[in-house]
Structure formats: C-alpha cells, structure tokens
Structure 1
C-alpha cells in the first residue's frame, strides 16, 4: 500500500512562522543603546535635522543679507560666529546650510536606494543574463572613484542643487545594488522561500513580502552611512565650485570662500568645517551602531 504523502502547507501556513516584530525591535534597540558613541551620534543627527527643519524660524539674520561695513567681524553679541567677506552672518548661513545639506542627502540617497534596490533585487533573484548585464553596468560605475564620478556627472549636467543631487545619487547606486544583490542571493535559497514557491506564491509576492523585508538590515546600515557620504560629497563638489552655487549658504561653498579669511575671520571657516565633520562623523557612528545592533552575530 502506498504511504500517504504529506501535503505541502498553504501560503498562509508558511507565512505564519515569523518572528515577533516587537521582540526583534526591542532586541535591536537594546543592542544599539549599548554603544554610547552611537547614541551621541544619534543626538547630533537629531539636532542637525531639527536645525534644518525649524532653524530658519529662529535664524538671527537673512543668510543673503549683506553688510559690507561689518565684514570680517569676529564673534560678538550681534553675530555669534562673526561675519564673512560680505558681512553676512555666519550663524544664519550655517543654519540655512543645514537645510540644503539635508535636502541633498535625503533626495540623493533616497533615489540611489530605489534604483539600487530594483537593480539588486532583479539581479540577485532572477540571475542569468539579467544579472550579468546589471552587474557589469554596476562594475563600470565602480571603476570610477566616487568623488571623481560625481565630478564627471556634474561637469556633464552642469552646476546647481538638482544636478548635485543627481550626481551623488548616481555614484551611490552601485553600493546599494551590490549589497542588496548579495542579500537576495543568500535569501532566495532559504527553505521558506522554496516553500512559498511550492505553495504557489508569485515571484512578485515573494520579492515584496519576503525577499525585500529580510534584506533591510544591511540596507538600513548602508543608507545611514551614505547619508554622511552624500553630505561630504556635496560639500566637496561645492568647495571646488561644481556643486551648489553662491550665494546659497551651502557648507562646502561657505568653506571654500572662507579659506581666504583664515587669518582675518577664522570662524567663517571653522564653523562650516566643524559642522560637516560632526554630521558626517555622527552618521558614521550611528551606522556602525546599527550594523552591530541588526547583526545578532555581533551582539557580544
């Protein structure tokens, strides 16, 4: 007599074996809070975001307002961080510059994440000639150093805020695509993915409900790190005159103009340089903390 064959579980039965999301979040938060430097970095990022959003409401002066009679002023009660070569208040320009830096980082990294996610998931899940074609394109972009590729893109597209965002986004795509592809390749061989296929789930359903959600840990870490890299790259482009153009108060452009004032008005250069350093370092510290928190292997 034939032995009874076990029936393959239906898709809802396959999907019910999921870890408790609340428990996972608590464990991740607990591991993250153990890293004090990451907490400090997070506090600085929160201050940076609040300044970018609400700072212009309490900025003491218009960042474009010129006062040539009071240029090269040092720190005073009227101008806490002094003035630049055109008499513009350095603190006000620093506050408004935070908004521009936040716009560049969020827009460019968000665009790079979307494009990299599509390329990485498509290449990793379907493989074959599609993967070869996508990854060769990614390798071409990786052949150029990041800042050099951004310079080339801006040189082709032209200067300006939008083109700076596009340049930073394009050079960030390969990192996202490679990380996501690696995660997808390892995930698609898992038993629960095979069970979903056997239960009749479509490729789109598997990708949206299982592949992408379980690939988010390295993506979150990379996104955090790229936020700082985007700010640094945009500031570098503006510093050499290829990014956001004056008189817009972008930190890199401010630093470029202030390098001529190091003797007469050092605060004009120290303030934007310190802001760039603190924000980029903070994103790096938070990214390291998230990497440790999201990877159970590193919890000890």
Structure 2
C-alpha cells in the first residue's frame, strides 16, 4: 500500500509531490528540504547557471588559446573577430579570457570569504547563545560595533593597512560579514538549549563542546546554509566594489571588479561600454543566482516563511 506525501510549494499551497512512498517509510527531513528546494524552478536555473559559470571560469582558459599581448588587435570591438569573440583591451589581450580568469578570483574570494564568515559567525553565535552572561554581552557588543560602521569603510581601512591581496580582502570581508549570521545562530541556540535532549546530554555527562557541536549547531544548520548562500553573493559584490574603487587585489591579478574599473576609463570610446558590460553581466547573474538559491533554501528549511 502506498500513500502520497504533500509539501508546501512556493505558491503557499499544499501541492502534491509526484512521488509515492510506502506507508512504512518516513520522508527524512533533508529529503523534504530537497523536494521543497526542487519545487523552486528559478533556484534550479540559478544553480545550473552557477555550475556552468564556474566550469567556464576554471576550465575555459585551458581550452582557449594562451593569453598573449597582440598590439595589432588593440581595442577590438566584440563579435568582430572569430579569435576574439568579446573583443580585446588596449594591449590586445582577449577579453573573454580575462573575464574568465577574473571570474576565478572573484568566485574564489566569494567562496573563501563565505567559509571564513560562516565559521566565525557559527562559533561566536553558538558560544553566545549557549553560555550567555559575560560571553553573550561581549559577542553582542562586538556585533553591534561592527554593524554600526559602514562596511565599505572598514574594507578600505583594512586594505590600506594590510595590503591589497586575496588574503586581506577575504579577511576584511569576513570581519564585517559575520554579525548577521551570528545573531541568527545565537537565537536558534537560545531557543533549543533548554530542550529535553540537551538536558539529557548534560545528564549523561556530555562535555559542553560536545553539546554545542552535536546537539545545538545541527539545529541551526538550516539558517546557516541559507546565510552561506547569500554571503557568497554579498562577498562578490563587496570585492567588486572595492576593486572598482581601485582598492581591490593588486594587478596583474584581475577580478570582475577590477575589469569594471578598467572599463570606466574607456567609456568615451563607442566600443568601450562593452569593456565594462561583460564583467558587470557576470557579477549580475552570479549574485542573482546565489540570492535565488538562498531564498529557495530559506523556504525549503522553513516552509512557514512562505506564509509571511
């Protein structure tokens, strides 16, 4: 005998998922999350776009001719040469290859900043929520202090003080990015730290670290995953903004933001708009894709958000 299970869809109604399960089996929590996520078609499109873009950035340059300086084809307009589809810059370098190589660094910065940001936020949020007292007061004060200062100002000061490298940009973004996620983790920990399963763990002598890592943080996994997907897009935007101001990663390393900055000086040229168009378009579709995925993950982990 079989039964049909239902889940909430983005429309807010309880639609039937076209998969039958035996009554003796239960749908696992993460399977339900996956099914809810898959019901958001725009998020699936975003995931495919990100996969294709990442493959293009990391594999594409190996499949294309080696990057060279050719002064005979400087400032070539896009779609005028089979050998330089997106055109060339003022030194004859192929813009397609430059954008793909720049995408490598931008995606690397976004992913690295996300991992560091989420790690810091999870640790501080969990400690704040679990221990309370002076620990909670210190973390809350640090959170409010960071949030009270404009993010771009902190990044500019950080880059000027410690240099304009990939490492310093990642550290700077993590420094300003952890408070929102830490607040979320703290609130989840506060809501579950007095639950029966936590009290049972205390009763059998489970160390505090074990309680936090095995019982409390897993309950915050949903919000953490959602925050991680949104943090990557925000990190890419911050790096691009910093590079556009000329304070990003030092040349000759290119990012989408630094290519935007280079294109700013070429707008007087009729074909110069395309110089900034390509990296701008890459940033747009990347950030949009991560945001759509983040929205879908939020609804998948917490269907009640669809009703709000």
The aligned residue for residue 83 of structure 1 is 88
User: Which blocks of at least 5 consecutive residues in structure 2 are unaligned?
Assistant: 1-24
Q: Deviations over 1:85-110 (max 9, x none)?
A: 22111000111111101211121111
1:67 aligns with 2:74: no
The aligned residue for residue 119 of structure 1 is 124
Alpha-carbon offset, residue 214 of structure 1: 1.1
TM-score with structure 2 setting the length: 0.86
Distance in 2, Cα, partners of 1:142 & 1:299: 28
Q: Deviations over 1:11-57 (max 9, x none)?
A: xxxxxxxxx99722221111111111111111111112222332231
More strand per residue: 2
8 A contact 1:61–1:89 mirrored in 2:
no
1:194 aligns with 2:190: no
1:215 aligns with 2:206: no
Q: Which moved more, 1:215-224 or 1:240-249?
A: 240-249
The aligned residue for residue 12 of structure 1 is none
Q: Which moved more, 1:277-286 or 1:28-37?
A: 28-37
8 A contact 2:69–2:93 mirrored in 1:
yes
8 A contact 1:73–1:265 mirrored in 2:
no
Distance in 1, Cα, partners of 2:192 & 2:54: 35
Superposed CA RMSD in Å reads: 1.8
The aligned residue for residue 295 of structure 1 is 302
Does 1 or 2 have the higher relative contact order (CA < 8 Å, sep 6+)? Answer: 1
Distance in 1, Cα, partners of 2:57 & 2:192: 38
The aligned residue for residue 161 of structure 2 is 156
Give the total of aligned pairs.
Answer: 279
Distance in 2, Cα, partners of 1:240 & 1:79: 28
1:24 aligns with 2:29: yes
Distance in 2, Cα, partners of 1:247 & 1:41: 31
1:168 aligns with 2:173: yes
Q: Which moved more, 1:253-262 or 1:286-295?
A: 253-262
Alpha-carbon offset, residue 299 of structure 1: 6.1
The aligned residue for residue 112 of structure 2 is 107
Distance in 1, Cα, partners of 2:66 & 2:292: 33
TM-score with structure 1 setting the length: 0.88
Question: Runs of at least 4 residues of structure 1 off by over 3 A?
Answer: none
Distance in 2, Cα, partners of 1:276 & 1:59: 22
Q: Deviations over 1:64-115 (max 9, x none)?
A: x322321110122110100112211100011111110121112111111111
CA 1:44–1:21: 2 relative to 1, 3 Å: farther
CA 1:97–1:139: 2 relative to 1, 3 Å: same
